[in-house]
Structures are given as structure tokens and as C-alpha cells.
Amino acid sequence: MRSVQAQTDGADVCVIIAARNAEATIATAVASALRQPEVAEVIVVDDASTDRTSAAAEAAGDGSGRLKLLRLTRNAGPAAARNAALAVATARLLCVLDADDYFLDGRLGRLLAAPRTWDFIADDIVLVRGNAAAAVAGLVTGPGQPQRLSLEAFVAGNIGRAREHRRELGFLKPIMRRSFLQRHGLRYDERLRLGEDYALYVEALAAGAVFAVTAPCGYVAIERADSLSAQHRTDDLGAIITFDDAMLARSGLSAAARKALRAHRDATMRKWQHRRVLDRRHSHGYTAAFRELLQAPRAWRHILSETLDAKLARFVPARGPEGDAAPRLLLGPGQVLRPAR
């Protein structure tokens, strides 16, 4: 891995928080970011909330002057909200924090203790439900030996598997060098309201970014069934397919990267076709849905599996209340990447 930048940028991090109707959680997110000594600024972008998100964010300020609040007058989506923050950020390092997540104390310091030979560096994420948050600290081990993420490994790592916890690498929240984004003209794709992180990381890796991944350092994500990332709207999935098509049309990608992008596109297409069938059922009834299904033979297995799982979920009791679920790691053991050099 090539060497980049000096060691003095460890105390120069901008944390970007895009928020919509996050009144209940935004204060925890903001306070956790401001407690990181490496943070120079926290930029909260209120994406046209209809609740008291802005007031709750302002109330979480610590008087240091590091908190900045931007308000969008219309709902533009997380990509546009983050781009608004990128446009005014001044710190050399950037880090995204979702409005319903938070940092454990010391998270950025542990990440920045890793060798500074990266353009992006992310740690494994601790996922919790409800009252399990008290147990998260035991899963934080520090950076360890960073591993380098290739474009093909990243794309392949965003293809979910049936009946398994979601482990998409697009959920990672790296520290990013602002200079790299500026040099390559990279921003979040505002056509995407789902998968905007995936798209940015794919473009960065295609541009030659050194993307390092480490052991968990203290990013805590709250799992919710109603989160935006858990909702696959038809148009959202179609936009991701369009993005993959655009990447596949580029020259200079390796055969392995193209193979991974095609596999990701195919997997997303099956989800899109499933949504199309459901849309037709809701709008025109079962006969129209069956006709739509006949036009998507490659998606039959996926649709059948998802339909059976949904039916069984009505009869099989849940494992217990949300608070009883133990925290888990997004990647966990067994995620094999190349050592970062």
C-alpha cells in the first residue's frame, strides 16, 4: 500500500450526519461525535424534517463551536444531504455517522492509530437491537492489522445471502480523505436513495482508492426493521441497477471486478423483479402479478424463497423481543481480505 499524507491530520476530522425526522436519536449521535478529540467539526444536515430534529441536534452541542447545522427546505435524500455537508466541510478527513447510530468513546482515535497508508479506512460495525447496547463495548478490539479491500471483493461483499444476517460491505462507515474525493471529483450519487454508500465506494475503488478495513473500533449501528436501508422500493433498486450498468460500461476495470459487478447487478435485478411482481399484485391483483412473474423466469427461485419466508414468518414465533438480541458484528470472523500494504 502506498504512503500518503503526513501524520498530523489525526485531529482534523469532519463528521457528517444526514438526518430526517430523527428527533429521538440525533442528540445521541451528535454528542458521541463531539466527544471524539479528533473531531474538528460536526455537520448535521436536516433533510426537511417535520419533527424537532434541528432543535434536538442544536441542544446536543457542547459549546465548542464545532457543531454546524444545515437545513434543507425539501426532502432530497441522504446522498444530497451528505453532498451539502461536503460542500462546506473544511477538515481534511471526513466521516459519515447515521442519525440513529453513534460512536463509542475513542472510536476515531483507535481507527487513526492504524498506519496512515490509506485513502479510506473503516472498522467492522457493531450492530445492536434495542436494549442490547450495554454489551457493545466488549466487541471493540481496536484496529489490529488493517486489510485492504479490492473493488471485486467489495462488490461481491454487497450480495446478500438468503436466510442470513445482512452483511453488506456498503454499510461500512469509513474515514475518508477529502483530498481524494476532490482529486477524483467524487460525490454521493443523488439519484440513489438506497445504496448511495455502495456507489461512492465503488467509484472510489475504481479510481484506485486504498480502502483499508480493520477490527471493530466503536461504530455502533442500531438495527431497525423500518430503517431506510431495510426497505427496497422498486425505483430505488432500479437506480442501483442503472449505476451497475454505468460501471460495467467503463473501460479499465479488471475481469474480476466486472464479474462481481455483473453478479451484483443480477442479484439486484432479482430483487427488482420481485418488487415489480408485488407492485402489480397491489395495483392490479393476482392475475397481473402472475403475468409479471412469467416475464421474470430468472427471478422465480428468489421470489419463491422470499414468499415462503414471509409466509412462514406469520406462523413461526419471533425469537424474542428486540432487547433480547445479542449484539453482533457486521463482518464478524472469517472475512478474508488481503493484508494492507
Tell me the sheet residues that pair with 139.
none
Which element (helix H / strand E) includes 276?
A: helix 255-284
Q: What is the pLDDT of residue 57?
A: 98
Q: What is the pLDDT of residue 285?
A: 66
Query: Model's pTM, two decimal places?
Result: 0.84
Closest CA to 173 of 26, 330, 58: 330
How far, in Å, CA of 236 to CA of 241, rounded? Answer: 9
How far, in Å, CA of 273 to CA of 237, rounded? Answer: 9
3-state secondary structure of 338: strand
What is the pLDDT confidence band of residue 158, given thresholds at 50, 70 and 90? Answer: very high
What is the pLDDT confidence band of residue 276, given thresholds at 50, 70 and 90? Answer: low
Which of these ranges, 115-119, 231-235, 280-284, 298-302, has the smallest mean pLDDT? 298-302
What is the pLDDT confidence band of residue 141, given thresholds at 50, 70 and 90? Answer: confident
Question: How buried is residue 106: exposed, middle or buried, by Cβ count under 10 Å (0-12/13-18/19+)?
Answer: middle
pLDDT at position 69 over 90: yes
pLDDT at position 322 over 70: no
Q: What is the pLDDT of residue 138?
A: 84
How far, in Å, CA of 81 to CA of 218, rounded? Answer: 24
Question: Using one digit for the tens of pLDDT, what is the confidence trace for 85-97?
Answer: 999 999 999 999 9
The CATH code belonging to domain 12-100 is 3.90.550.10
Which of these ranges, 55-69, 150-164, 208-222, 305-319, has the smallest mean pLDDT? 305-319
Q: What is the pLDDT of residue 143?
A: 84
Q: Where are the domains of the chain?
A: 12-100, 234-314
Find out whether 141 and 216 touch, Cβ atoms under 8 Å.
yes
pLDDT at position 166 over 90: no
Q: What is the pLDDT of residue 130?
A: 66
Which of these ranges, 143-152, 204-213, 300-309, has the smallest mean pLDDT? 300-309
More confident residue, 223 or 158: 158
Which of these ranges, 39-43, 44-48, 60-64, 322-326, has the smallest mean pLDDT? 322-326
pLDDT at position 110 over 70: yes
Find out whether 1 and 81 touch, Cβ atoms under 8 Å.
no
Q: What is the pLDDT of residue 66?
A: 96
